[in-house]
Structure formats: C-alpha cells, structure tokens
Structure 1
C-alpha cells in the first residue's frame, strides 16, 4: 500500500498543488497576487494530496487482493 501510495503521489501531488495555486489566482488576478498566499495554497494542496494518495493506494490494493491478483 505504501509503495502504491508513493507512486500515486507523483500524479496526485502536483495536481492538487496546481489546483491550490489556481485558487488565489482566480480570486485576485495575476497582477494583484500575494506570493506568500500563492505558495501557501500550493503547499496546502500538496499536503492534502498525501492522505488522498494513501487512500487511493489502499483502495486499489484492496481491489487487487480481493480478486486474487498480486498485492503491492
């Protein structure tokens, strides 16, 4: 599960960090952006991606093991 979660974090982490970075850009616009707010929102998005990727890894591992497949 941990190995699969780490592999999923490679995809989920930048995706949620990018979504988090878009929030201040959509609220303020490009010219009026606070750089610390932009960086903070991206970091929060990346931190949210950790439990999301572990949850997805557990679900995929459970699906693979319930059907008799090879477990990660």
Structure 2
C-alpha cells in the first residue's frame, strides 16, 4: 500500500510532464486542432503509467 501512495504522488508529476511534452511535440509538428492535442495529452498520460510504476518501484526498493 505505501508503494501505491508513492506511485499516485509521482504520477501527478510524471503524468503532467509527459502529457505536456506530448502536447508541445504535437504543436511543434504543426497540428493546431483540438483533437490532435487531446490525443497527445492522453497518449502522454497513458505512457506515464508504466514509467511511474518503474520509478516508484526503484524508489521504494531503494535501488
């Protein structure tokens, strides 16, 4: 349970950072519509879930 709480806290930061980076990448590529931006934000958020789990596991295990 403590690792889950750590993962939730980390996901607030990692998820927003990944979603923001994906949105910036889409805007730099020239897509200005709402749907590409929303899809990029969703993709960044979903990609951050396993990344968050790996970071939380590393921190929790002390490696």
* TM-score, with structure 1 as normaliser: 0.78
- May I ask how many residue pairs the two structures share in their alignment? 61
Which residue of structure 1 lines up, in the alignment, with residue 14 of structure 2?
12
Consecutive unaligned residues of structure 2, counting only runs of 5 or more, are: none
Following superposition, which runs of at least 4 residues in structure 1 exceed 3 angstroms of deviation? none
Which residue of structure 2 lines up, in the alignment, with residue 51 of structure 1?
50
Structure number having the greater helix percentage: 2
Distance in 1 between the 2:60 and 2:45 partners?
22
* TM-score, with structure 2 as normaliser: 0.88
Let me know the Cα RMSD of the aligned residues.
1.4
Which residue of structure 2 lines up, in the alignment, with residue 34 of structure 1?
33
Consecutive unaligned residues of structure 1, counting only runs of 5 or more, are: 67-72
Question: Greater Rg, structure 1 or structure 2?
Answer: 1
